[in-house]
Amino acid sequence: MKRRRFLQWAGGLAIAASSPLRAIAQSDDDPGDIYNRLKQSLDLRFVVAGGSINVAIDGDASPLDKHRIEVWVRRSASAIAAYFGRFSVEHWGLLVTLSDDDHIGPATTWGYPSSITHIALGRNVSDSALHNDWVMVHEMTHLALPSLPQRNAWFMEGNATYVEPIARAQLGQLTPQEVWRWAVDDMPKGQPHDGDKGLDHTHTWGRTYWGGALYWLLAEISIYKNSGGRYRLQDALRAINRESGGNTSFWSVEQTILVGDTAVQGHALGSLYRELKDRPVTVDLHDALKQLGISEVDGAIRFDDRAPLAGLRRSITTLQAPSARSD
> Between these two residues, 69 and 17, which has the higher pLDDT value?
69
Structural domain includes residue 169: yes
Question: Is residue 14 predicted with pLDDT exceeding 90?
Answer: no
What are 76-99's pLDDT values in tens digits?
999 999 999 999 999 999 999 999
Sign of the four-CA dihedral 174, 177, 183, 184: negative
The string of DSSP letters for 29-60 reads --HHHHHHHHHH--SEEEEETTEEEEEEEES-
Structural domain includes residue 2: no
| Cα(233)–Cα(240) distance, integer angstroms | 11
- Residue 18, amino acid: S
Same domain for 52 and 197, yes or no, is no
Question: Is residue 27 predicted with pLDDT exceeding 60?
Answer: no
100, 63 contact by CB (below 8 A): no
What are 130-188's pLDDT values in tens digits?
999 999 999 999 999 999 999 999 999 999 999 999 999 999 999 999 999 999 999 99
* pLDDT given for residue 39 in this prediction: 86
Backbone angles phi, psi at 198, to 5 degrees: 105, 160
| Cα(4)–Cα(160) distance, integer angstroms | 12
* pLDDT given for residue 13 in this prediction: 55
Name the domain boundary from 94, 116, 144: 144
Structural domain includes residue 1: no
Question: Is residue 17 predicted with pLDDT exceeding 80?
Answer: no
The CATH code of the domain that includes 102 is 1.10.390.10
* Domain containing residue 174: 151-326
Name the domain boundary from 117, 144, 171: 144
Rounded percentage of the chain residues whose pLDDT exceeds 90: 83
pTM attached to this predicted model: 0.90
Asked if the peptide bond before residue 113 counts as cis, ω within 30 degrees of 0, the response is yes
